[in-house]
Amino acid sequence: MKKFLQIYVCFSAFIQAFWLERKAATAIEYALMAGGIALVIIAVVFAIGDELAVLFQEVEDGFSGP
């Protein structure tokens, strides 16, 4: 029973230290924001990708001359 109590106390201390640590939470929040921004960029590129391809082709044709 004493060994179980020691394990419980150690585990409680670990959980409490992890819970009070705010750096990990901040890093996770930044990672979620970066992931969200990346998803928005990918969605925009796929949404206007064909239009961009046409625009770049027109620019390329403009450089090649009449």
Residue-wise pLDDT tens for the chain (66 aa)? Answer: 677 677 777 777 877 776 666 666 677 888 889 999 999 999 888 888 888 888 889 999 888 866
Tokens of 35: 């992931």
Tell me how far CA of residue 64 lies from CA of 35, 54, 59, 61, in angstroms. Answer: 40, 15, 9, 5
> Which pLDDT belongs to residue 19?
66
CA 41, 42, 45, 46 dihedral sign is: negative
pTM of the model: 0.47
Tell me how crowded residue 20 is: count the other CB atoms within 10 A of its CB: 7
The predicted pLDDT at position 23 comes to 63
